[in-house]
Amino acid sequence: ASLAIISTWIGTEIGYIGDQLTTLGIEGDPYLLFLKTIPFRFYPILALFLGFMVAATGRDFGPMAVAEARARKGEGVVRRGATLLTEFSEEETTKRSGVWYHAAIPIAVVVFVMLGGLYVTGWHAVNEGKDLYLETLLGRAAAPAALDLLAATWLGFLVFLMLAAIVVKKRRFRLSNPMGRWYLLILDVVALGGMLVLLHETYGFMTASPTSLREIFGRANSYAALIWASFLGSITALLLVTAERVMRLRQAIEAWLSGMKSMMLAVVVLTLAWSLGSICSDLQTSAYLVGLLQGSLPPELLPMMVFAVSAAISFATGTSWGTMGILFPIVLPLAHHLAPGSERILVGTISSILAGSVFGDHCSPISDTTIMSSMASSSDHIDHVKTQIPYALLAGIVGMVLGDLATAYHLYGAWTALFLSAGVITLFLFLFGRKVDAPPPR
């Protein structure tokens, strides 16, 4: 989630970045700066790569290798005396389950509405609130351009009809009872309308210059786009599961509210983190640190040190979001004053806050994500923490040294750092990891 350009995390992360850009008087869009940090977030990327390599090679190391050997020998998936957080039984499964598109369609709605919202809000900001559609279609579109747009619209309409025919054939709908699938008509109309708008906006993308597109996204209102996308995604999910009778309307709303309840702890943590950040701002903590460290701390060491501090705070508190709220008001002013005008240090520092908070959260036994992982896998919580920490440490240390430190000193770029780090992780896995043989057949 921390790497996704559209997720529940991004609104909070962009908010932190935007607040500090405003406070420091730095011009720029927080969303574009957020995108620039993605290649520099070495730990999340390397952790994903390490997980893929472990699955592909079948090699494990540390306590995980011991646990796998025990399981393959038939001595139990969990150790003797383990305390399981949850126990699942077959009776708990529901008799009727959804299908893949019940999840895929709402996610697609979120993605496309987010992109469309960024473009629409950015266009309005660039053009000082003029009407997007009338201005483009009537004021600026030449006759050939209008014909091209009309042709593209009709072509998209025909493609839509063909896809609808395929869906009808696959689902074997009864045309004799069209109202029996009334919700399909609603979804089709909404999808067609969205497709026409998307085609129109795509045409605008194709005819605009790269500078214009960059300016449009740079001035987009990402907060509004996220609200639109999340709201429409939720409504789409509710419509799908209720119309397909996977859930009753009351059950669907209760599930939706349950999801909101699960975020309440995060909201409380964020509120407390914002309070602490405001206190640090009023006490001029960042100014004190600047005066203390300026001239004695090379700015190139800042990203690596921030990663370590962020990981330590996140490990101790068990929350990555709270760690971000604590560090952004303190560290970004420090980076700005230690290395004025250095985008590399600023981007590296932001990346280190985001990556370090995730690293500490992964390792922390009191983190909600770690606890939920233990619950989902029905394992002993401490055993889960012990088995995953060596993998997190490997990705974290390699990313910190070959990534944060090396890129801050301009030894090479982010992509080269990722390539070298991936090579070191692969070499470590083959040198110290081992395959656990499967038990012989009976």
What is the rounded CA–CA span in Å between residue 198 and residue 192?
Answer: 10
The residue assigned the tokens 């030894």 is: 411
What is the rounded CA–CA span in Å between residue 406 and residue 402?
Answer: 5
What pLDDT is stored for residue 89 in this prediction?
46
What is the rounded CA–CA span in Å between residue 400 and residue 406?
Answer: 9
What pLDDT is stored for residue 3 in this prediction?
74
Q: Any idea where the domains of the chain sit in the sequence?
A: 10-88+263-434, 101-245
What pLDDT is stored for residue 174 in this prediction?
46
What pLDDT is stored for residue 197 in this prediction?
57
Report the candidate in 405, 396, 398 with the shortest Cα–Cα distance to residue 361. Answer: 396
438 DSSP assignment: P
What is the rounded CA–CA span in Å between residue 213 and residue 220?
Answer: 11
**Would the pTM of this model clear 0.95, i.e. be above it?**
no
- Ordered per-residue pLDDT tens for the chain, 442 residues: 677 666 657 767 887 888 888 888 887 778 788 888 999 999 999 999 999 999 888 888 888 888 888 877 777 777 776 666 555 444 444 555 557 777 788 888 888 777 777 777 777 777 665 544 444 444 444 434 444 444 444 444 444 554 555 455 455 444 444 444 555 555 556 555 655 555 555 555 445 444 455 566 666 777 777 787 888 888 888 887 887 777 888 888 888 887 777 667 656 655 666 676 677 667 776 566 656 666 677 889 999 999 998 888 888 877 787 788 888 888 888 888 888 878 889 999 999 999 999 998 888 887 777 777 776 677 777 787 888 999 999 999 999 999 999 999 999 999 999 999 999 999 999 999 888 774 444 4
